[in-house]
Chains A and B, each alone.
Chain A
């Protein structure tokens, strides 16, 4: 039986070179990579070790470094304290309104940073907010720095930990339950140790996000030297008085912290959780 020839007589499917496709991908990727590296090199070339050292001698910058380290560390602890239970609940339980809660948890991530700061400022002017302020002064004081950092950092920690718990099979918890554990024991003895790389990733991410937070802090905490000044505030203040060398030196300090965070996640954390969270 003879076969009817195909109506179009073009080349065989799949024939031809893939080279042009790969070249396009490499070119587009290369442009972005070059831009990132060039940006960092430009920063580095703009300052010198002498400038850098002089900037670090400044009392204001030393204060900003100390406050940044303290506030970021406290924010990280608070974020984990809240994000571990939320991430676990969102991963394991089905309940009415879960999709709405999921959307609410993402609000701090998608909201413009300045709006977060303004919203916090307004919240603390409501009657319950004022009552709280009478007990613990928050606005334009150090607690406001931590609260502003926490609002954004915690949202990232929640997403990271939810992705982490999603990756841990519920089978392990079920086995722990049959072995005599209560639900809480299964969580502490099995789930949390299994999630330790994800917890480390969430902590590192929360710390890094807190370190870079500026918009909400500017609105909610102000930019007062030696009071609510964190490293991004220093960059802003030094730039505003034309001291570009100091601004660049502090920026490089933050670049160093960011690189350290990347290294921690790459060697000890869970990149899968990070990829799903960001």
Chain B
């Protein structure tokens, strides 16, 4: 479960005030809202990448408000994937596991498992420069899932993809959920994407969650009054 309680974060002149939300365990929640409403700031605060001025973040029942990002158990996929240009796809999948000093056999087994789910087998030896947009996002997703985090935070991972690749990635996200039961907080501007995948849609407006509901009830674009 992701639980954000009256969170206040300041980034330069921008302030997110008293934002609260809850995503039950195993659900895929979409965070929507106009550009500049603080969706990414909120997601980064949940991941531990922004200092929190006030409020609490609880993940799977544990208060992680002041915990380092690496100890929160969150897989993070930013908008551009942010792949490491000097590493191969295989090295991306093993990065978090090497940091955690997993035994070599477990590491190889995990790479094989992720490569199969995400269709990365033929790409394991490539570097990011040789990947298409969809392939790069699948690698970023694999890297985020590699250490079996209970929570996944996705910041518009499909926004730069064409329609066909986006549909394919929606399928990949369904597969991931089916295999892992991971709780997902996912930022998007696409209501169609949210309708396809969401258990819950949250709309952020003026620094607060103004709508928290099921996708079938969300017929208007996010942020519309």
Contact = CB atoms under 8 A, between A and B. Distances in A.
A264 interface: no
Contact of B78 (A175, A179, A180, A193): A175
Contact of A179 (B80, B83, B86, B147): B147
B117 interface: no
Contacts of A185: 99
A179 to B, nearest CB: 4
A179 B70 contact: yes
A179 B137 CA distance: 16
10 contacts: A169-B80, A172-B83, A176-B84, A176-B95, A178-B70, A178-B74, A178-B144, A180-B71, A182-B68, A193-B84
Interface of A: 169, 171-172, 174-182, 185, 189-190, 193-194, 196
Nearest to A171: B82
Chain B: interface residue count, which band? 20 to 34
B134 interface: no
Closest 8 CB pairs of A and B: A179-B96, A171-B82, A180-B70, A178-B76, A177-B69, A193-B86, A180-B99, A178-B69
B100 A180 contact: yes
Contacts of A178: 47-49, 69-70, 72, 74-76, 144
B96 A180 contact: yes
B143 interface: yes
A174 B147 CA distance: 16
A189 B98 CA distance: 11
Contacts of B80: 169, 171
Main secondary structure of the interface of A (DSSP, over half): helix
Given A172-B83, A172-B84, A175-B78, 17 more contacts: A169-B80, A171-B80, A174-B78, A175-B82, A176-B84, A176-B95, A177-B48, A178-B49, A178-B72, A178-B76, A179-B143, A179-B146, A180-B96, A180-B99, A182-B68, A194-B85, A194-B86
Interface of B: 44, 47-49, 68-72, 74-76, 78, 80, 82-86, 95-96, 99-100, 143-144, 146-147
Contacts of A179: 70, 95-96, 99, 143-144, 146-147
A176 B69 CA distance: 9
Contacts of B72: 178
Contacts of B95: 176, 179, 189
A175 B76 contact: yes
Nearest to B74: A178
A186 to B, nearest CB: 9
Nearest to A196: B86
Contacts of A194: 84-86
Contacts of A180: 70-71, 96, 99-100, 147
B141 to A, nearest CB: 12
Contacts of A181: 70, 99
A105 B62 CA distance: 46
Contact of A172 (B48, B49, B82): B82
A174 B76 CA distance: 9
Nearest to B99: A180
Most chain B Cβ neighbours within 10 Å, of A169, A175, A196: A175
Most chain A Cβ neighbours within 10 Å, of B44, B75, B78, B83: B78
Nearest to B44: A174
